[in-house]
Structure 1
Amino acid sequence: MTRGNQRELARAKNMKKQQEQAKKKAAADKGSNKGQGLEARKQRDADIMREKQAKKAAAKAETGAKGATGGK
């Protein structure tokens, strides 16, 4: 039982090492990007941004319409 603290220190060291390795992974190897090329990721991200911009523009137009008609 003299190795209790050593075991905990080894676990902490291994956890830190695994986190560092995960940070070093390329973008193509992470999560939803796995198996996609650079162009495919760029296209997907661009589509997502266009959807967000459209939603924001629609919300802004809606609030603008309420303000113009005195929507109290």
Structure 2
Amino acid sequence: MKKQIDSIKGKCQDDGLSAAACKQRVSETMQQKQKKANEKKEEPK
């Protein structure tokens, strides 16, 4: 997970976003991924 965050940070610098904007975008992305993982986990097999 740390590697994911580091790779996203590198992309934010390339996009020219401020640190705060980058952090917000990373946070939203991680929340969406977690939500999808939880939904997938709850599906009956």
* TM-score, length-scaled by structure 1: 0.43
2-side partners of 1:40 and 1:61: how far apart? 32
> Which residue of the partner structure matches residue 20 of structure 2?
39
Q: Does 1:51 align with 2:42?
A: no
Query: Which protein has the larger Cα radius of gyration, Structure 1 or Structure 2?
Result: 1
Relative to its length, the structure with more helix (as a share) is 2
Letter in 1 for 2:27: A
**1:8-47 alignment runs, 5 A limit:** 28=13, 30=14, 33-34=15-16, 36-47=17-28
Once the 2 structures are TM-superposed, how far is the Cα of residue 40 of structure 1 from its aligned partner? 0.3
**5+ residue gaps in structure 2?**
1-11
Q: Give aligned pairs, total.
A: 34
Superposition RMSD on alpha carbons, in Å? 1.4
Runs of 4+ with >4 A deviation: none
5+ long unaligned stretches in structure 1: 1-26, 67-72
